[in-house]
Structure formats: C-alpha cells, structure tokens
Amino acid sequence: MTTTELTPAQMADRTGVTIDTLRYYEREGLIQNVARAESGHRRYSHNDVLWVEVLRCLRDTGMTIDQLRHYSELGAQGDHTEPERKRILLEHRALVERQIAERQAALELIDHKLSYYTGESS
C-alpha cells in the first residue's frame, strides 16, 4: 500500500465519518470509482478524502442526500456541468447564511435572557 492509499478504517479516521457512512455514500453514488487493492479491499486516495470532506460539509449544513447525489452526478459528467454545480453551491451558500443569521438571533436572545438572570438588564 502506498502512502496515498487509505484503508476504510484509515479513511474513517481521517474524515471523521464511519465505515458504514463510507459504504452508504458509495451505495448512494456519492463516492465513485474507489480503487481496490489486489485483495479486493477498498483503497481511498487523497482526492477521495477531499471529496468526503466536501460531502460532509454540505451534509452537515443541510444539503439532502438527493441534492448531494445530483451534485455528485454533475461532477462525474465533466467540466461542462460547472455552471450548474456553481449554481447549486451558491443556493446552498445562501441557505447556510440564513441558518447563521437565525442562529445569531437565537444567540442574542439567549444572551439577553442570561443578562436578565445576572441582573445586567436595563
């Protein structure tokens, strides 16, 4: 095994997702063309690590599996899908910005309530 090939366990450690999640991503078509060792065991590349990090970021910020699948399928089709992939990411970015604004408002409300309990309210 070369240093750029990771076993499923190493990939799970590196990316913070479970081996079951890696298998699920493969079944769903989110990770494609994973290399195999002569033994038939999966071997992940540096690019696979980077891709799982992207998937995890998008998933953690609310992108659905269907949306991830569509985005992945577009990427597999080649460079001519770049404008569509950019549109998807821009829409998702706007969603994340709204989520951040909502969380910031919630944090301000919590801080206001805490100041009431500490006697700092005006």
Q: Is residue 2 included in any domain, yes or no?
A: no
User: Domain residues for 37?
Assistant: 8-117
Total number of domains in the chain:
1
Tokens of 64: 């659905």
Q: Is residue 56 included in any domain, yes or no?
A: yes
55-90 pLDDT tens trace: 999 999 999 999 999 999 999 999 999 999 999 999
Q: Is residue 41 included in any domain, yes or no?
A: yes
**Whole-number percent of the chain with pLDDT over 90:** 87
Task: Measure the CA angle with vertex 41, ends 46 and 14; round to 5°.
Answer: 35
Q: Is residue 122 included in any domain, yes or no?
A: no
d(CA 41, CA 115): 57
CATH of the domain at 47: 1.10.1660.10
Q: Is residue 83 included in any domain, yes or no?
A: yes
Mean per-residue pLDDT, 34-41: 90
d(CA 109, CA 70): 37
- 1 neighbors 43 (Cβ within 8 angstroms): yes
Name the pTM for this structure. Answer: 0.82
Q: Is residue 102 included in any domain, yes or no?
A: yes
Mean per-residue pLDDT, 26-43: 91
Q: Is residue 91 included in any domain, yes or no?
A: yes
